[in-house]
Chain A
Amino acid sequence: MSSREQKAAEIRRLLATEGEAVSENARGFNRGREEATAELDDYDELKATARARKEDAIERLPELIEQVRESVEARGGNVYLAEDEADANAYVREVADGADVETAVKSKSMTTEEIELNEALGAAGVDVWETDLGEFVLQVAEEAPSHLVGPAIHRDRESIAELFEAHFDPGESLETADDLTRFARTFLGERIADADLGLTGANFVAAEEGTLVLVTSEGNARKTVTATDVHVAVAGAEKLLPSVADLGPFLELIARSATGQSLTSYLTFLTPPGSAPTVDFEGDEMGAPGDREFHLVLLDNGRFEMREDEQLRETLYCIRCGACANACANFQQVGGHAFGGETYTGGIAGGWEAGVHGLDSAAEFNDLCTGCTRCVPACPVGIDVPWINTVVRDRVERGADPSRFDFLVDGLAPDAESGGSLQKRLFGNVGTLAKVASMTAPVSNWLVQSTLGKWALARLGVDPRRDLPQFRRRTLRDWFESRGRTRVANPEREVVLYPDVYTDYADVERGKAAVRALEAVGVGVRIPSLPESGRAPLSQGMIATAEQAAERVLDGLEPHLDAGRDVVVVEPSDLAMFRRDYDRLVPERVDRLAANSYEVLEYLHGVLANGADLDALADLDGERLAFHPHCQARTLELAAHTEWVLEERGADVETTTAECCGMAGSFGYKQEYYELSVAVGEALSAELPEDRRVVASGTSCLDQLADLGRSPRHPVELLASAG
C-alpha cells in the first residue's frame, strides 16, 4: 500500500470504530461552548484580557520562574526546571526513590503524557494509577487520549462496560454509567488509600503565591494530594501567571470553552504544603499539613525555543480547553487518534507537537487542518490555530525532497517554492492550471476526465471519485467585455468585482448574477484582470508564493482603492485572504483593502440598508431555503447579511450549524482524505431538509453539496434577474 492508501485506510477504520462516539461528544461540547459563551456579556473583553495576560506572562517567563522558585522554597517546597522528558522523569524517579514509593496515584495531566512519566516510573518499579475516570479507562485499555479534555470520548458506555468486565471480572454486571462509575470509584479509592505519592498537573501556576490551580470535576486531584505525603506537580513552564489575582478571566472562560459548563465542580487552589491535614488511611491517622513534601517540576522540553519562535510562540498561550478540536469539522468525525500527534490532539496540537516533539510528529496530521478557521473564534485566548498549522506545513514541505513526478507539475507551476509534495504544488498552483485549462477548454476537461488524465492526477493524489471543476472557454471577464462592461450609466457607486479563479474560469454563472444584482441596485461594476489571491498556495503551506500573490493583487487593486472604489468578492475564501490572511502576508499594505472589501451579499445589504430599492432584486416570496454559510464567512460573521437580504425578499431561510462542508478547497479532492471529506459533508447534508432549496456561498461548499446529490445555488443567483 502507498502511504496515501495507508492513511486512507486508517481514517476509514477510525470513522467506522470511533467516529460515532467522537462525533456525539465533540459536537455536544461545541454546542455547549456556543451556548455558554453567548450568555457572557463581556465574552470578547474576557478573551482579550486573558490573551493579554498570557502574552505578558510568556514575555516575562524567566522572571516568573525565579519568582515561583522563591515563593515555593520559602514554604519548604522544591522547584525543578526540567530541560526535557528524560530530565523530568529522572527527577521524579529520584523523588519516588527517596520516599520509598511503591504506588503512586495521578490526576489528569497531559504534560505527564507528553513525557511518558507512567512508563518511566513503571520501569523503576513504581505502580502508577490514573485516577481520572477517562484516563483510567485508557490505562486499562492501553490506549492514547483522543481529546485534550475528554481523553476517552472515542469510547461509549457499552465499550467501557465490555472492557471492565473482561479486565476485572467484577462478579457483578456493570451496565449503566452509574455502575461503571461506582466500580471505578471503589477500585481507585483503594489505590488512593494505598498510595505514597500523589502526582498532579496544573492548569495554572501563580508565581507570586506559589499556588497551583487545578480545574477538575471528579475530585480525584484533591484526593490524590490529600491522601499522600508526597506531592509532585508536573507542569509546562508556560502555565505560569504572575499571581492568583490574574486568574479571573481564565476561570470564567476555561470550562465554558471546553464543555459549555459555566464552572467545573472544583477549582482547587493549592499553595503547598498547604493548610489541609494529610490523611493516612493505612495508619488510620491524620497528619499535620506541614508533613507534606512538595515538588514542582516545570517542564521546558522545547518550550523556550517556542518562545523564541515568532510563529510558534502563540501556542504557549494555549490553556488546553480543546475548543479548537470540538469546533473542527474534521476532528468531529475522526477524533484525536487521527487528528493528533504523539501526545496532543486537535488543531492546536500542530503547534504543540512541532514544539515539543518536532516537525515529524506534527507532519503526521497537519493536513487535517484545512484552514477553515472555525476554531479561531472558539479559542479563549485568540490563537490563530490555522496560521500555526500553515507555518508548520510550510516548514514540513520545504524540507521535503523533490520527486520523480516533478515533470507533471513543474511546467505549470510558477511558484516560489523549493521542494514540497507534488500534490500540494498541484493544488497550490490552481490559478495557473485553471487559466490553461480554460484556454484549452473543452479539450482540457475531456483530458482530465480521460483514463490518462485520471491516471496522471491519481499519481498526484487526486481522488478519481471526484469530478473536477469544468473549466469554461468563455470566462466571466470575456462575458463582461462582450456585453460592453457595466450597464449602469454615471453610477453613484462603483465597485471592482474581484474575478476569483473559480468564478472567472468555472462557476461563471454566479459571477454574472453578482454583476446583475449589483447593477440592479444602481452599482456600477468593473472587472479588471487581477491575479489569484494566494489562497490556493497558502492552503498548501506555500507561504512565499502566497506572499507574492498578495503583493500582485494589491498592485492591481490599489489604483481602484485610490479612486474610491470598493472591492466586492464572490468567493468567501478570497475575501478571508483580504481581511485576515493578508495581515500575515503583507501587513504593511493590507489595511485599506481589508477595510474596503466586501462579500457580495454583505455589500448588497449595505446598499439596501442605505435606501436602494429592494424590489430591484428578484421576488423570493414563498421560497423555502436551507442556507449553508461558508466556514470562513462564518468566522467573518457574514452569514447574517445573506439571511437579511434573502428574508427581505420574502424567502424563508433556515441556516445550518455545521462548521464546514468538508471539501475545504483541495482537501476533499485528495485521495487520502476523500472519505473523511464525504463524512463531514454528510453531517452537513443531514441538516438540509429535502423540501428546501439549498443555497451556499463558497465554491467548495457548492461542489461538495453537488457531489452529495443536492443542487445548490449561490444566493446571488436567486436574487439576480436574468438579462
Chain B
Amino acid sequence: MAGDVDAFETAAREVNAEVTRTTAGEFDAAMEDVLVDPAVGTPLPYHGVSLPGWVETDPSPSDLAAAATGVTSAGLGVVESGSVVVESTAAGEDPTSLFPERHVAVLAASDLVADVSAAVEHLAAVAGEGRDAVIETGPSATADMGALVYGAHGPRAVHVVVIEDR
C-alpha cells in the first residue's frame, strides 16, 4: 500500500500535480498548509476527517468565482497516471474543482487503483447510476497560444492530499 502511494505520488508530480501525504490525525494541519483563502469545499466522506470551519461548503456562484481554492474528495486515485477521479453530487464537486484557480483533492490511500482501465470499470458503475465524473490528470492546460500554459479554463494548480490511514 505504501508502495502504491509512492508510485502515485511520483506519477502525480510528473503531470504537475502537487502531493501531500498525511494521516487522519494530522489532516487539519495539512489543510492549513495547502488551502489558500478564500476557499470553497464539499463534504469529505472519510471517518474522523472534516474540512476546516472557515471553508465555505454551501457556495453561491459568486463565492465560486471569488474562491482561490476549491477542495473536494476524490473517489479514486489512479496510481499509473497520477490522476484523481472527481465524482459529482448535488454538493457541487464539479464546479468546486473547476472554477477556482487551485483544486485540492482529498484522497484516501485505500481508494487507489492501478490504472485507467480499473478506473473505467468503476466509472461504468457510476455512469450506470446516472452520476457524472471526471478523471482529472494535473492542472488545466492549453498549448493553443503558442506555448504550454497551465490554467486555461480550469485550475492552474492541482494539489492531492493523500490520507494514508484511510
- Where the two chains meet, the residues of A that have a C-beta atom closer than 8 Å to any C-beta of B are 75, 131-134, 136-137, 150, 152, 155-158, 160, 176-178, 180-182, 184-185, 188-189, 206, 208-209, 211, 217-220, 222-223, 226, 243-245, 247-249, 251-252, 262-271, 274-277, 279-281, 284-286, 288-289
Contact = CB atoms under 8 A, between A and B. Distances in A.
6 contacts: A181-B149, A219-B98, A244-B120, A268-B134, A269-B134, A289-B88
A218 B126 CA distance: 23
A181, A245, A268 — which one has the most chain B CB atoms within 10 A of its CB?
A: A181
A133 B120 contact: no
Nearest 3 CB-CB pairings of A with B: A157-B146, A219-B154, A218-B152
Contacts of A244: 120, 123-124, 127-128
A308 to B, nearest CB: 31
Contact of B144 (A152, A275, A281): A152
Nearest to A131: B153
Given A137-B144, A276-B93, A218 B154 contact: yes
B130 interface: yes
Given A266-B136, A269-B126, A281-B65, A275 B88 contact: yes
B89 interface: yes
Interface in B115-137: 116-117, 120-121, 123-124, 126-128, 130-137
B120 A248 contact: yes
Contacts of A219: 98, 140, 152-155
B153 A263 contact: no
Q: Name the interface size band of chain B.
A: 35 or more
Interface stretch (B2-10, B27-35, B56-64): B56-64
Interface string B35-53: 0000000000000000000
B18 interface: no
B121 A245 contact: yes
A228 B42 CA distance: 21
Interface of B: 15, 59-62, 64-65, 81, 83, 87-90, 92-95, 98-99, 116-117, 120-121, 123-124, 126-128, 130-149, 151-155
A222 B120 contact: no
A226 B98 contact: yes
A285 B60 CA distance: 6
Contacts of A274: 88, 130-132
Contacts of A271: 127, 130-132
Given A184-B145, A248-B117, A266-B140, 7 more contacts: A150-B144, A180-B145, A217-B140, A262-B15, A275-B87, A276-B88, A277-B94
A284 B61 contact: yes
> Which of B60, B126, B132 counts the most chain A CB atoms within 10 A?
B132
A288 B91 CA distance: 10
Contacts of B141: 217-218, 265
Contacts of A275: 87-90, 130-132
B151 to A, nearest CB: 7
B44 to A, nearest CB: 17
Contact of A181 (B60, B81, B88, B152): B152
Given A181-B151, A277-B90, A265 B136 contact: yes
B81 A218 contact: no
Given A134-B144, A209-B127, A222 B154 contact: yes
B20 to A, nearest CB: 20
A218 to B, nearest CB: 4
Given A211-B127, A219-B152, A275-B132, A226 B94 contact: yes
B146 A265 contact: no
Given A177-B147, A220-B153, A289 B124 contact: no
Given A218-B142, A265-B140, A274-B130, A245 B124 contact: yes
A113 B159 CA distance: 36
Contacts of B61: 279-281, 284-286
Most B CB within 10 A of own CB, among A156, A267, A285: A267
B139 A269 contact: no
Contacts of B117: 248-249, 252
Contacts of A132: 144
Nearest to B138: A265
A213 to B, nearest CB: 9
Given A209-B124, A217-B152, A284-B61, A277 B132 contact: no
Nearest to B154: A219
A184 B128 CA distance: 36
Contacts of B128: 208-209, 244
Contact of B135 (A222, A263, A281): A263
A78 B151 CA distance: 34
B95 A226 contact: yes
B147 A269 contact: no
Contact of A263 (B116, B142, B148): B116
A263 B83 contact: yes
A544 B127 CA distance: 50
A456 B142 CA distance: 52
Contacts of A180: 145-146
B133 A269 contact: yes
Contacts of A288: 90
A132 B153 CA distance: 9
Contacts of B89: 275
Contacts of B88: 274-276, 289
Given A218-B141, A279-B61, A285-B61, A247 B120 contact: yes
A251 B116 contact: yes
A269 B123 contact: yes
A152 B155 CA distance: 23
Contacts of B94: 222, 226, 276-277
Contacts of B137: 262-267
Contacts of B146: 155-158, 160, 177, 180
Contacts of A222: 94, 98, 134, 154
A209 B123 CA distance: 11
A249 B121 CA distance: 12
B124 A284 contact: no
A177 B154 contact: no
A182 B116 CA distance: 31
B145 A133 contact: yes
Contacts of A155: 146
A275 B91 CA distance: 9
Nearest to B131: A275
Contacts of B152: 133, 181, 185, 217-220
B64 to A, nearest CB: 7
Contacts of B62: 281, 284
Nearest to A266: B134
Contacts of B139: 265
Contacts of B99: 223, 279
Contact of A270 (B132, B136, B155): B132
Given A218-B153, A275-B88, A133 B142 contact: yes
A30 to B, nearest CB: 15
